[in-house]
Amino acid sequence: MIKQTLFLLLAAAGVCAAQNADTKTPQAFEVVSIKPSDPSAPRNGCYIRGEPGGKMFIGKCVPLHAIISWAYRVSDAQISGEPDWVKTEAWDFQAKLERPTDRTEMLKMFQSLLGERFGLKLHTEARTMPALVLTVDKNGPKMKENKDPDNWEIMMVSAGGGPPPKPPKWAGQRCSMSYLAWWFGRLQNRPGVDKTGLPGFFDFTIEFVPDNLQDLKGPNGEPGPAFDGPTMYTAVREQLGLKLESTKAPVDVMVIDHVEKASAN
């Protein structure tokens, strides 16, 4: 159960992208292969990743719901109107480009791909709902700025930690604050809003006990292992020099009007 929970946190991470809109017309994928995942394949091997060089993107055993969340940078709570198979059926894909892309353009290409191959049509509605707002703590950030070229690494990865009572640990690798806010939001199934005002990318490690690990039960209903570590809110402040506030905020919700299963190729 613990390994499965940690996997879900990592699989949600994917790769980081700026949320500011880019007005240039994105290039299109040159070659796209999509097929249903092997139903017997273990779901704890799921991922979406960009290969070094920014010309190849691979997904393994990924539900369409997760691809939509990743491509639009929204939480589960910001997706509405989807049929059940969008969450339960998984897909493998490879998408290739003629020239390298950047992370903002990449998201737009995946949004177009969802429309072309899954017939995805949606509209956005502004709704006020519980959210996590990320700001800078009064004593300032404690992260190391990373000015290296983009190498398409996954931005939030497991950095060890555990076994209980030691809590899990994660490492941020050239991670933007907009992505970090989204990642924290996904842990509690709510939108993450970046109000740090910090541009650029950062390296850091963070160790905390996610809320969903505190209530784990054994196979027979017995109490799960106890963890001794800070909450997410405390760790963000003490280890990163940032602040997370749980509040209500206006956010965009992706309302699905139409979606269909992609034909395998």
- Report the candidate in 4, 13, 31, 6 with the shortest Cα–Cα distance to residue 173: 13
pLDDT in tens, 140-188: 999 999 999 888 888 998 898 878 888 999 999 999 999 999 999 988 8
Q: At residue 214, what is the residue type?
A: Q
In the block, which residue shows the tokens 């749980």? 246
Q: Tell me which H or E stretch contains 3.
A: helix 2-11
Q: What does R_g of the chain's alpha carbons equal in angstroms?
A: 18
Distance CA 203, CA 16 (A): 13
- Would you list the domain boundaries of the chain? 2-15+24-258
Token pair belonging to 173: 């690798």
Distance CA 57, CA 49 (A): 6
User: For residue 113, how many other CB atoms are within 10 A of its CB?
Assistant: 21
| DSSP-derived 3-state class of residue 86 | helix
**Residue 163: cis peptide before it, omega within 30 degrees of 0:** yes
pLDDT, greater one: 149 or 237 = 237
pLDDT in tens, 68-122: 999 999 999 999 999 999 999 999 999 999 888 888 888 899 999 999 999 999 9
Q: Can you say whether residue 160 is alpha, beta or left, with left for phi > 0 and alpha for psi between -120 and 50 degrees? A: left
Task: Indicate whether 219 pLDDT > 90.
Answer: no
Task: Indicate whether 222 pLDDT > 60.
Answer: yes
Q: Tell me which H or E stretch contains 109.
A: helix 103-118
pTM of structure:
0.79
